[in-house]
Structures are given as structure tokens and as C-alpha cells.
């Protein structure tokens, strides 16, 4: 009887000691803080034309803008990555006459600007990799494959060019779960592309507000 009670008591003790050890597993930092990892984001953007782009060409906000980015998140506050996007602005004007020397053209004008920006970026994060909210500032630069097309009826005047583009933005990541892999990203960015042709004499600038979903892995 005594033997059994001693064994039972020892078992009970060992159980208690195991229970006390278990919490230690959760005090290890998350792998996302210990390792540098990848982060991919898919975004949809609302873009508002600014400056002379808006006053002399298209002033209509566009919601047809998408992008995908791949980020290399290091253990420091800085992360770098690349982003490829698609952006489309369009405005149709009612029938009007346009003078070209001694020639008069009467047409319904459809103005479009399509861009495929290919950029690299650097983010500076203000909080740790595992905080639920991670605000950051962003600088980006690269080239934009640009297609400027003005339609007069169904006749078109088109110019395509690979132009330099840059961006300055501020945003924040939101983790869905503590130490999770998925999250949301909201970003407001000023984007400018240099381009000079026809109606666009001072480049195309826009204010882009985007919402995205990201997935991170290591």
C-alpha cells in the first residue's frame, strides 16, 4: 500500500513539474522574428490623378489597378522587395471639334493611359515583425511600361514608352492572427512617372490607395 502511494505521489509530482515546464515553449521568439522570411502581397488600388495629369488629360479616378509584390523581410527594420503592377486610366469626352492647323476633326475622344510599373522598393518598419499592426514607410523606384492612346472615334493616336517611375508611400500591415502567416496591408502612395507626349507634358502623377492580402513564409 505504501509503495503504491509513494509511486502515485512521485507520478503526481512529475505531472506537476511537466505542467510547469510547458509554458517555456511559448516564450521562444516567433520564427518570423528569428529568421528572415519571404512575404508576398496581392493588392487592388484606387488611383486619383494629380497635377497636370488631372487638369490636362484624365481627371477620373481609376479602380482598375492591381499589383503583386514579393518582399524579403530581414531581421532588421528594413525590408526590400519588388513589385509588378497594372494600372489603367480612361476618360471619354463627348463629341467635340479639334483644330490641327487648317484641319478640323470632329470626334468622340476616348483618352487612356495604361501602365505596367516594375519597381523595387524598400520598407522601413516601426514595430516588430510579430506585432499585430506594423506601420511602415516605403520608397520605390523602377520603370513603367507605358501605353498612351487617344482614340478619336475608332481611330487612334498611340505612343508606347518605357519610362522611369518612382513612389513614396506610407502604410501598415495587419496580422490576422498572432504569429500568423496571413494578413492585410493598407498603403497610401504617391506615384509619379515621367512622360511627355501630346496632352501629357509634365508626366503622370497619382495618389494610390491600396488594400492587399499578404502571406509570409520562411
Partner 1 sequence: MMLNRTFIWIAAVATTLFSCTKDPLAGLSDPDSQVFITNRDAQANYKQYKTFSVVDSVQVIEDDYSTSDLTSLDQDMLIRIVTNMEKLGYKYVPAGSKPDIGINLARVTNTSINVVSQPVSSYWGYGGGYGYGYPSYYQYYQTSESFWSLSMLDLKNPDTVTKNLKVVWNAQIRGAGLGNEEYVDQMVDSVFGQSAYLKIN
Residue ranges binding partner 1 (CB under 8 A)? 38, 40, 42, 64, 66, 68, 70, 84, 86, 88, 90, 95, 97, 102-108, 110, 112, 114, 116, 149, 151-155, 215, 217
Supply the minimum distance, in Å, between the C-beta of residue 41 and partner 1. Answer: 10
CA distance 211 to 42: 8
Nearer to partner 1, 70 or 78 (CB): 70
Supply the minimum distance, in Å, between the C-beta of residue 40 and partner 1. Answer: 6
Nearer to partner 1, 118 or 127 (CB): 118
Phi and psi, residue 15, nearest 5°: -60, -45
Nearer to partner 1, 75 or 92 (CB): 92
> Are the beta carbons of 186 and 172 closer than 8 angstroms?
yes
Supply the minimum distance, in Å, between the C-beta of residue 66 and partner 1. Answer: 4
Nearer to partner 1, 118 or 188 (CB): 118
List, in order, residues 6 or more apart from 131 with CB less than 8 Å away: 175
CA distance 68 to 77: 22
Supply the minimum distance, in Å, between the C-beta of residue 18 and partner 1. Answer: 33
> Are the beta carbons of 161 and 113 closer than 8 angstroms?
no
CA distance 106 to 22: 80
Nearer to partner 1, 23 or 94 (CB): 94
Determine the 3-state secondary structure of 21 from DSSP: helix
Amino acid at each position: 500500500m505504501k509503495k503504491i502511494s509513494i509511486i502515485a505521489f512521485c507520478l503526481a509530482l512529475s505531472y506537476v513539474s511537466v505542467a510547469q515546464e510547458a509554458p517555456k515553449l511559448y516564450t521562444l521568439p516567433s520564427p518570423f522574428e528569428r529568421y528572415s522570411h519571404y512575404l508576398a502581397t496581392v493588392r487592388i488600388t484606387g488611383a486619383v490623378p494629380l497635377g497636370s495629369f488631372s487638369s490636362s488629360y484624365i481627371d477620373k479616378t481609376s479602380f482598375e489597378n492591381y499589383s503583386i509584390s514579393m518582399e524579403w523581410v530581414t531581421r532588421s527594420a528594413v525590408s526590400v522587395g519588388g513589385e509588378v503592377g497594372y494600372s489603367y486610366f480612361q476618360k471619354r469626352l463627348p463629341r467635340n471639334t479639334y483644330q490641327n492647323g487648317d484641319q478640323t476633326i470632329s470626334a468622340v475622344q476616348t483618352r487612356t493611359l495604361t501602365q505596367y510599373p516594375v519597381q523595387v522598393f524598400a520598407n522601413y518598419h516601426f514595430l516588430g515583425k510579430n506585432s499585430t499592426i506594423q506601420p511602415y514607410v516605403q520608397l520605390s523606384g523602377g520603370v513603367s511600361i507605358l501605353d498612351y492612346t487617344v482614340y478619336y472615334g475608332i481611330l487612334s493616336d498611340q505612343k508606347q514608352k518605357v519610362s522611369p517611375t518612382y513612389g513614396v508611400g506610407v502604410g501598415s500591415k495587419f496580422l490576422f492572427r498572432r504569429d500568423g502567416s496571413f494578413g492585410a496591408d493598407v498603403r497610401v502612395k504617391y506615384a509619379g512617372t515621367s512622360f511627355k507626349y501630346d496632352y501629357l507634358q509634365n508626366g503622370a502623377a497619382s495618389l494610390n490607395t491600396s488594400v492587399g492580402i499578404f502571406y509570409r513564409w520562411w
